[in-house]
Amino acid sequence: MFKQFLVSEANKSGTCAYCHKHFRKLTKEHVIPKMFGGTYTIKTCRRCNQSRGHFFTYKPFVKWARAHPHKFKKAIEDAILNDPSKKKIISRLTENI
């Protein structure tokens, strides 16, 4: 039931966390990609979500991470708790943000 709530919340209208444009439908963007154990999500437009992919160098993502250090740190901590074997790679990928 909780997962269904997250999906329905992500599809609601709002402002993209990256481009700051208003959309009728947003997607869930994993701050730390699922492939690295990420579970923390934010709402982004489809274009920004697809443009970022699983990279940590996408400029709007870097800008968001620097503007929201507590949320970014929480996303990192959640990913490491979810998959401790990814700690080194997550640390390496996020060290310059």
| Alpha-carbon span 61 to 41, nearest angstrom | 12
User: Contact at 8 Å (CB) between 30 and 65?
Assistant: no
- 2 pLDDT exceeds 90? no
Q: How confident is the model at residue 13 (pLDDT cuts 50, 70, 90)?
A: confident
Question: How open is the CA angle 91-92-97, to the nearest 5 degrees?
Answer: 80
Q: Is the pLDDT of residue 1 over 70?
A: no
Helix (H, G, I), strand (E, B) or coil at 8: helix
Query: For residue 62, what pLDDT band results from cuts at 50, 70 and 90?
Result: very high
- Say how far apart CA 86 and CA 32 lie, in whole Å: 11
Total domains in the chain come to 1
Domain with 10, as residue range(s), is 2-94
Kindly state the average pLDDT of the residues 42-52. 97
Lookup result for tokens 């943000």: 97
